[in-house]
A and B are shown apart, each in its own frame.
Chain A
């Protein structure tokens, strides 16, 4: 009896192409589909090893997905134990190798298994109305998620401005002094730095929404250093303030 191995060949082709795409460092928009295909290939091939051809479609799909999820768990531990960093080449190589190994096992075992036991797919009897209903459901569900994304992006939050004076890591006598404007629009500030109560420096800042201004300043714990940020035109009340605590 002639056997059909086209499914395994397709899975292998997907795995090899996905690996090639990943190793070629193609952009993420390109690698999403082959990356998902790589997961699907490894799950499918190994489900062919474990699940009888007579099993139902849902059971086969469930086992395939579960196996696809298991491979990184066991493989990741193995790679880690071997001292291989778990970055893209390692994951891609792991999935491709396990897919190839699964194909070899399928090719050896499928001969022994009863091909006749494989369930013949029953012809679908979907009417056009049913197909339209499923299609409409998918569109509405996608619309619901789209609505959520749009409304979450449009949700209004109070604007804010960040001011900081924090010692730089590994440079204790130097600090980062910075301002970020998240008020929702371009905002004018005046930043006044005082040492021992005397004005040491003044900056007039005009920051667009999301813009950050940053300087490195010398600090000490011997005397007080205070930075007051005023939001123009109010120069009386500091809008934000930070200090070194001395």
Chain B
């Protein structure tokens, strides 16, 4: 089929609106040539690489003891600006840009950000969820069996796609788990972005719109963290992208043979998504349903039939997987759904949902977040107007416009429900897809308007600043959080900054000496290491074991009720407040001062409690003999 490329249309529209207005062309005269850019893609790539090096140097400064230094922080942001700004400038400029150059720019942007993720933790996984999947992969490699227990994330063995791919790669290459995991997650992440670019480009019929929409999507707070980590969502997103692209091709292919091949490919992508990640498979069903509805509204019967069939099959696949393979999914999501429902009902009744503060981040981050929200909220109506004017009969455009309404639902969730910040953050990956497309349409329209074009350079500069604001907001308010923006020395009850040699050695010791699957009480800092390297079963809501000066009868009863076998005490909990805001997983207590050391040492005085391990900062107690101690 012939795809009309509207990129030139944008450029000619821009030319038509330029001032002073050029004399009308004579019929048959050649169109004026679009100027070549003075910033070639190769130079953009070189500048981005320098940006990666500068940000990596900032990470190095953090590791050398300058993690709190303002200049190290500034160096990090300078590096990020060098990565993002040239790409934005090249995409937003009206100079000549061929499709391969646009594709190269988005690949450069994605690879540069992924390299920075590697530079943050270059020796091993340090983020909680990555360690959980590390454990799942090791289990599969060692046992050769699927569905083996993963204590830290019990639902993940029922969605084994990531572990299967990584295990296969490890088996046929001999690579270690970390290297194989980086390859799989990096490939999957790049694949997702490229597929998203193809979808945007096909739907808009403009590679430039596709590129700018990807640039806007780079502002997603989760994109350079959760969506590129070694976690099952990263891989499933790639399949989601292929599923949607294949659905588009199946609906618009030029021949029946091609349409059938793409339909089969869409089915494969759907099944792969279902096997790999729960939420992503639900979002894929939702996307296909949305396109079907838009097709019905725009009377595109063929698209409605094709995509509707895929939506029904995908819904059936999801339901079958949950019923027959992963019934635990329902209980896994129950607390989240219940919290959401309570929040929504509280909002409807006009009462307070007791939503927590939307952000505890520094003022600068909050201001950045506010500006980004305002920018997108202001640009969306312009994008909708553009769709209404020219493409309201195009079902995919209409679906994007309807889907972008999710932006406001996400905003309401963020401010109106308990855990709204967390849920809105995690749904951003999906909500930002239509939002970035509509915003991209608006942005390209805006910089082409006649009045704006009179100040060409200034308009582009403002647009680039806007893009930088969006991307910086995503980075600043995404992951890692501001208090561990740079790697550095150990932080109490943090995440990546709580992972060090002593913690890793302790976790490995638990597996060697105690065996797998023991029920552990531990703080949030070492928790992921115990599940990952230790293959232990750390428990939630164990703060009561640490925050009293005596081991009382009620504490002993509670510990017995939870079947706590071991208590891991990190004595550094007495030295500072928790970096993450809480000392223990599942604990909502607000701490105003560190835990007294006497509270942590009380187990030394309890009869029957064996002190089985001591590494100075970390002590492990065996509670199994303490049942009648108090």
Interface residues in chain A, defined as those with a beta carbon under 8 Å from any beta carbon in chain B: 18, 22, 27-29, 31-32, 34-36, 38-39, 49-52, 56, 58-59, 61-63, 65-67, 69-70, 72-74, 76-77, 80, 85-88, 90-92, 94-95, 113, 126, 129-131, 133-134, 136-138, 140-141, 143-145, 147-149, 151-158, 160-166, 169, 176, 180, 182, 221, 239-246
Contacts and interface: CB of A to CB of B under 8 A. Distances in A.
16 contacts: A66-B195, A69-B184, A92-B172, A95-B168, A133-B46, A137-B42, A145-B56, A148-B60, A152-B63, A155-B64, A155-B487, A160-B616, A161-B615, A221-B608, A240-B614, A245-B607
Interface string B475-491: 00000000000010110
Contacts of A49: 261
B31 to A, nearest CB: 21
A187 B552 CA distance: 40
Contacts of A28: 173-175
Interface of B: 40-43, 45-46, 48-50, 52-53, 55-57, 59-60, 63-65, 99, 103, 111-112, 115, 118-123, 140, 143-146, 160-161, 164-165, 167-169, 171-175, 184, 187-188, 191, 194-195, 197-198, 235, 238-239, 242, 245, 257-258, 261-262, 264-265, 268-269, 271-272, 275-276, 487, 489-490, 500-502, 505-506, 509, 513-515, 606-617, 621-622, 625-626
Nearest to B614: A240
Prevailing SS type, chain A contact patch: helix
B161 A73 contact: yes
Which 8 A/B pairs are nearest by Cβ-Cβ distance? A28-B174, A35-B173, A85-B144, A245-B610, A133-B42, A148-B119, A72-B168, A35-B172
Given A166-B613, A240-B616, A73 B53 contact: no
Contacts of A86: 140, 144-146, 164, 167-168, 171
A240 B171 contact: no
Contacts of B613: 162-164, 166, 242
A149 B275 contact: no
A72 B164 contact: yes
Contact of B501 (A73, A95, A143, A182): A182
B268 A70 contact: yes
A56 B55 CA distance: 34
A147 B60 contact: yes
A16 to B, nearest CB: 13
Contacts of B123: 149, 152-153
B614 A242 contact: yes
Given A28-B174, A39-B169, A147-B60, A182 B46 contact: no
A151 B63 contact: yes
A22 B145 CA distance: 20
Given A58-B103, A69-B187, A157-B502, 20 more contacts: A31-B173, A50-B264, A51-B261, A62-B242, A66-B239, A72-B165, A88-B172, A92-B171, A133-B45, A140-B53, A143-B53, A151-B59, A152-B487, A164-B613, A221-B625, A242-B611, A245-B611, A245-B622, A245-B625, A246-B625
